[in-house]
A and B are shown apart, each in its own frame.
Chain A
Amino acid sequence: MNACAEIDYGTPEVKVGAGGLCMPGTPLRGQATAILEIDGMSVTVPAGTSLMRAAAEAGVMIPKLCATDCLEAFGSCRLCLVEIEGRRGYPASCTTPAEAGMKVRTQSPKLAELRRNVMELYISDHPLDCLTCSANGNCELQTMAGVVGLREVRYGMTGENHFTESTTDDSNPYFSFDPGKCIVCNRCVRACEEQQGTFALTISGRGFASRVAAGQDERFMDSECVSCGACVNACPTATLTEKTVIEKGQAEHGVTTTCAYCGVGCGFRAEMQGTEVVRMVPWKDGRANEGHACVKGRFAWGYATHPDRITRPMIRARISDPWREVSWDEALQHTASEFRRIQARHGRNSVGAIVSSRCTNEEDYLVQKLVRAAFGNNNVDTCARVCHSPTGYGLKQTLGESAGTQTFKSVEKADVIVIIGANPSDGHPVFASRLKRRVREGAQLIVIDPREIDLVSSPHIKAAHHLKLKPGTNVAVLSALAHVIVTEQLVDPAFVAERCEARAFAEWSEFVARPANSPEALQAASGVPAAEVRAAARLYAAAGNGAIYYGLGVTEHSQGSTAVIAIANLAMATGNLGREGVGVNPLRGQNNVQGSCDMGSFPHELPGYRHVSDTPTRELFERDWGVPIQAEPGLRIPNMLDAALDGSFLGLYCQGEDPVQSDPDTHHVVAAMSAMECVVVQDLFLNETAKYAHVFLPGASFLEKDGTFTNAERRISRVRRVMSPLAGMADWEVTMALANALGYPMHYAHPSQIMDEIARLTPTFAGVSYEKLDAAGSLQWPCNDAAPDGTQTMHVDEFAGLRGGKGRFIITQYVPTDEKVTRRFPLLLTTGRVLSQYNVGAQTRRTANTDFYGADLLEIHPHDAEERGIRNGDRVGIESRAGTTTLPATVTERVQPGVVYTTFHFPESGANVITTDNSDWATNCPEYKVTAVQVSRLAGA
């Protein structure tokens, strides 16, 4: 067996009292547990547990091939037969539920004979190349042949078979499909259906001709396959195998860690040969993903050792000079000297730092500590500024805490799911798979998005309502939904009376009930038919459990914070808070957006979202850190850039962030960067911002350091080092060394000590430690004396962060954005991302994910394309008030007339050259989602 393999119990776990569909593994009502006898041992399991799982939990592993515990039982391989006293025949243990009083035998001469016969048939149609097979040592077929004692194949190997003339499909860059080794166990097909929900695989043909096929019998790359790897994980043979395993061989040890891509925060087992990663396998016990993955986390980790990695510090006097490699000591001393020189000349507040949402909590904490304690100001901000800062503001104001309210698992209890301004199947694919499973079980779906995202209509998924609003009108639609809920008496009066501020509710309900907020009145602005809004509002309000999930399509607007507040208002009004299956759920873009915000990376907040003007909090940190802390907020990222242009901000330490590519209005960002005297970039690669840097400090990937990430569920998970930092230092060590060079002592031997300090100073993290995380697997904050095991669902009894514990409705007036279409700029550009690429693409562009998406495209509606003479594939010019760029066009009805859409994964596309500096009123989060543009076909295109 594979040295890294986790125990496979054969069928899914059944929890006592669990609900769900009626299928194998579901407990029978009225029977909490069943006590039975297996091979003479008394076994107690939740009722409905399969005999296979019951045996496995007692340590008896029944032979199996088609069963695996991440999939529902299938009962096809006939290897897991058992004998049950008093019953005829030999039932399959995977599909037979354990019942009280059963006496089961898993071994007998007859069972052994039956199993050997079955195996003999399998092996008669399987190549006998075990010694040179890529699955050697990790092949369930091989293992089972051994377990059942197969010694001969009486049928010989020369008859009709599938292996002599089969052709391997190597089209996918990450895995190989060799049908000659397939035993047609259906595990891959079921994984694609049950786990991923894509339905890309099927069994084509009948009888002996049955075989696995992708799509319409196509190559994997030509099919609907999304390369999540679930099929590869499920395959018990070498039929579907990672190419890295084929190339390197099986791993010899594994380390559990957390993915460094999106805010889902999937747990992975890094399977290793020494310090080399062989493959990343989704961790079954990872609570965020429960054994599932996507193409990024599962396969796109090769960037960590890409030749583009910079592993030596570099400095230069001017940005026009060539880089000069220097020692760590020289780079850090130079940086410290430059920052001190700038501060001496331009004042203490003339320098600052940007914290990365890709780095660990411990690293983020250290950077903000460095700014506050060593720089002596509050000029620290995080790249969450440009994505979810409105979430922090809006949820804090209404619900009292700057975080989502649920677990991802909570969606399994939702009856109506509202997706606003998010595209989970591309941006948060592992959560999307959970969501789709719930929709297949019968939950209703409402999508509010200008574009027809996959969830509107995909295999076995059909949204009940798609409110196809115009970009920039979220608040209008949310107000209209609220209007219907209030005026049609759909409010949950008991929840509102008990849990919310009465006066605030009265003022809000009077406001939304005004005719100006009716769906009919707002239809012209939003473009959404009033009847559709009314129907959606009724569906959400009448749901037993209504859950709202939202993303950057809500936050990245001039009214981003208003929209977040409006969402919270809806949830409070309908009583959809404080239990499983409901809630307000921000889908965070990057792996540690939540964590970076939690760690005090905003210029106005210390760790735990406590304002810098709060004297007791400030004094707590001042005592611990031994320095005074400014009581006034510092500069946000856009303010830093503006201040750079007026000559009052001249030094920037930028860790793990690329504002030149990711921030709006590139010309403005470049001008600001060019105006600074010392820009320090700490990153894996020479990114776009590094072009304007004077110091480059090599970063470390998530594989090279210890720490924690906090995902969108507030779940704190361990990141574990599996290889040494390529540049010799992890990011937290670099920040620590810089602080020391600046004369502020920092001495931590391990990130666990940083977490201990965080816990000591932050009430919501008071119960968090590495020991506890290692024992529990992960913890959701708040984790403290009041909630020693963490908090799965927020606001169960009260809104603890608010006065009197009462939820606070806030009026949300729709204010149209200044970014309006004109005759010169008649189209609205909105942006998003695709499944295979990640944000500015620094990581995914350096992997084979470029095979799936190798360039940003501009989606344009056929009507708009025809008016401009644009055909599919034409290169088009896009002009906005901020700038111009060019992109290849894709003509598609996914976008509505008047709206164009692109991604921002490739720097050469210059998507942010055309976005403007409009921003959210409360947080300055840029309005990426609305830019008025003109699109024209380029001559010669």
Chain B
Amino acid sequence: MSARRDPAPVAIVGGGLAGLTAAHALRHHGIPFRLFEASDRLAGLARSFRDADGFSHDFGAHFVTNRLAAALGMGAECRTVHHYGEVVRLDGEDIGYPLGLLGVPRFDVSAAWTRLRDAVASSPAPGDAAAWFRHNYGEALADEVALPLLEAWSGQPADRLAPAVGEKLPGGLLETLWLKLAGRLTDRAVAIGYCGALPQSASVWHVYPEHGVGSICARLAEGLDDAVSLGTRVQRIHVEGDRAVSVRVNDQDLPVSAVISTAPIHILPRLVEGTDALERFARFRFRPMILANLNLEGRHLLSDTVVWLPEKDFASYRVTEAPISMPWLAPEGKTTLTVDIGCEVGDDWWKASDDDIARHCLEDIAPLVPDAAARHLGHRVLRTPIGYPVFMRAYEADRLRLALDGTGVDNLLSVGRNGAFDHLLMEDVYCRTLAQVQPLIDDLLPAVRAA
């Protein structure tokens, strides 16, 4: 009797939400894999931690949807988020986003005039983000709100960004109105513009797992211990022809049937050997970010969960008081404000000490919370060189190619927020990763079943 050999495992590079989603799907189908995580723990961007003073911090996302929780059988251990709201700070006044902005006459007049002008002149499709926002929002709203925020967030002039930045924004006005109304009626933070892969609905709202969003990853990782290697970096991915054939781990080559990478896409070309198909991705840029979590005395210091700051007077472009939506994230009577600062690796912000960053942030938000410094209890500063993918026009064609055709190596997938180079929140990471992995499963399943 001749025993068929098991097919080589799939190598998964990275044990964050995307890597674990892929691993969970492969395990479900009995496809062998090895997951390599360079750090000493799983969860990556989805990690959560609670400090000694009782403040919880999530590195990446603050909440998930009840739909994702149900997919993972975690509904019973999630708390409903009852409210989530955003405002825009203009001339010292907080205006509700997006509906409050509609009540500002100069924005409405400008939007109507721009639409009319563009229709009469039959203008070509906007070629950059600045033109896209001016065309779709009107010049006043674009120039006063959207473009300053976009530039602070991306670190690039808006006319160097691709129009796709705008196309990522949530659906139509009527749908938004309906979902806002449904949220009010049901006392739930109905998810709006959160997940692009699945339809929005009044039945999909934000929830927060009792043990932090990181527990989503813990659930996915259940039963996978035998295939997970922590503290193990993938040194090389070897490609022959147009296929990945092995990975180099601990200075040894491991034959693989495929590779699923969650590495930031601009890093991936450095890992791959044997093809230059991925070189085009090396110039993709991520915007480095500093997230300063300021623990403060008091609660409801902001007028809503998120305050956008388009005016140049602010160093930050966004301040978030997550405990307005999720009171359990801070001890009673206390709160955390997260101040987002776009920066560059090595600039003054990046090099500043945590204490200096906290001090600057407290000064920066003084117009919002005048006594912030007096309320200050402590802080935790996070720096990430890969905060957000930046859609530059210069490489937009290559970005679309990645989204539509993949990496250019048949059995090398690049998944997750950093790997797919997309503005994905947790449910999207989960759905998109499953969708990307599905064809690979279809390819590998016959050999696995035969074995």
Q: Report whether chain A binds chain B.
A: no
